[in-house]
Amino acid sequence: MHQIPCDNQIRNLLDPVPPETLFPLMATISDELYRDGYLEHFRSINHTFLIALDSTDFFSSEKIVPAILIFKSG
């Protein structure tokens, strides 16, 4: 790989792939990182892990309207 793909290129590749297809790969990667000690720097309170996940797409909805956008007209 000569250049790192941009976000849009990655999305274009991964969007058609069902998430269930990637779960085993992600589990394998995280198991390897844990086993080799790379995740120890992410330990926090009570020896738990802090991991940031971007779930904006997972929790998005075109049917749910935020309360702030609901108003009474007239």
Q: What is the pLDDT of residues 10-68, one digit of tens each?
A: 888 888 888 888 889 988 998 999 999 998 888 888 888 776 766 555 555 566 555 55
Residue among 40, 63, 64 at smallest CA distance from 50:
40
Which is more confidently placed, 6 or 28? 28
Instruction: State how far the alpha carbon of 47 is from the alpha carbons of 26, 37, 41, in Å.
Output: 22, 14, 11
Specify which residues 43 forms β-bridges with: 49
- At residue 57, the pLDDT reads 56
Q: Which two tokens stand for residue 68?
A: 């702030």
- At residue 61, the pLDDT reads 57
- At residue 36, the pLDDT reads 95
List, as own/partner pairs, every contact residues 60-65 make where C-beta atoms lie below 8 angstroms and the sequence separation is at least 24, other chains included.
none
